């Protein structure tokens, strides 16, 4: 079964850090670019970041540039999102996804809440 | 990286056709044929309905179709069914090698 499972979401104070993980199974993880997408409460989907299949060329939305870092470990079939200097507006459900017409897979999301 | 503009809501009766617009700029929708459409039921993972402006992934009903003119892409749902009630998002590749989603449209089946 093709699957993505996010973890690492938590309640964190403003200015804090968190690392999200996304475990892939059932497909050749190392062949696909991977993305993080988030959805704040009551709001729409927002693209956050992307990384090539070989771990190169990360790209970020302006809203997280300089604070978030995307990475992957193809040997562990795992995608990561290191989030630093968190703000209240980063509160959201974070999804990892392939966003690929050949194999479009999304996880169920992990919740990040930034609040004091 | 401004979000693509979609109507907040669109509604229709069963059997009718509805169209959702997605307006961007020449740096995203107008500049690339990499427009996607997702269906999102709250609490579930988004499902890809259209890719590359007008192509349907395997398993997606042919009641869903996509098109583009200039900086505006459109998703048409024909023969509207109760199960089509969901949020719909467009997405486009951009000139800065990033991606952008639309503001989202809530489809209601009357």
Interval A19-32: pLDDT, tens: 999 999 999 999 99
Average pLDDT score over residue span B57-85? 96
Rounded Cα gap, residues A64 and A114, in angstroms: 14
- Tokens 């709250």 belong to B42
Give residue B95's pLDDT band: very low, low, confident or very high (50, 70, 90): confident
Strand partners, A4: A24
Q: Please answer yes or no on whether B98 and A99 come within 8 Å at the CB atom.
A: no
User: What pLDDT shows up at residue B105?
Assistant: 98
Spell out where B1-110 has E strands: 9-12, 18-23, 35-40, 47-50, 64-69, 72-77, 86-93, 99-101, 105-109
Give residue B109's pLDDT band: very low, low, confident or very high (50, 70, 90): very high
Residue of B95, B98, B101, B106 to mutate for A, most A C-beta atoms under 10 A? B98
Report chain B residues whose CB lies below 8 A from the CB of A97: 46
Average pLDDT score over residue span B47-59? 96
Q: CB-based contacts of B42: which residues, under 8 Å, 6+ apart?
A: B87
User: What pLDDT shows up at residue A49?
Assistant: 97
A9's enclosing H/E stretch is: none
Q: Is the pLDDT of residue B86 over 80?
A: yes
């Amino acid at each position: 079964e093709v699957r993505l499972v996010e973890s690492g979401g938590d309640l964190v104070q403003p200015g804090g850090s968190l690392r999200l993980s996304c475990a892939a199974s059932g497909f050749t993880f190392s062949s696909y670019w991977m993305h993080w997408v988030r959805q704040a409460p009551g709001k729409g989907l927002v693209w956050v970041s992307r990384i090539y299949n070989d771990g190169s060329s990360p790209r970020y939305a302006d809203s997280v540039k300089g604070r978030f870092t995307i990475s992957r470990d193809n040997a562990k079939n795992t995608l990561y999102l290191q989030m630093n200097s968190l703000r209240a507006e980063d509160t959201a459900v974070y999804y990892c996804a392939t966003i690929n017409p050949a194999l479009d897979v999304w996880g169920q999301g992990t919740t990040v809440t930034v609040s004091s | 990286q401004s979000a693509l503009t979609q109507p907040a809501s669109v509604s229709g009766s069963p059997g009718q056709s509805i169209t959702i617009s997605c307006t961007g700029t020449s740096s995203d929708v107008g500049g690339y044929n990499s427009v996607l459409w997702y269906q999102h039921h709250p609490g579930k993972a988004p499902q890809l309905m259209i890719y590359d402006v007008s192509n349907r992934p395997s398993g997606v009903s042919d009641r869903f179709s996509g098109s583009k003119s200039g900086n505006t892409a459109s998703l048409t749902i024909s023969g509207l069914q109760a199960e089509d009630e969901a949020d719909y998002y467009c997405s486009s590749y951009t000139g800065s090698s990033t991606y952008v989603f639309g503001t989202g449209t809530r489809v209601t089946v009357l």
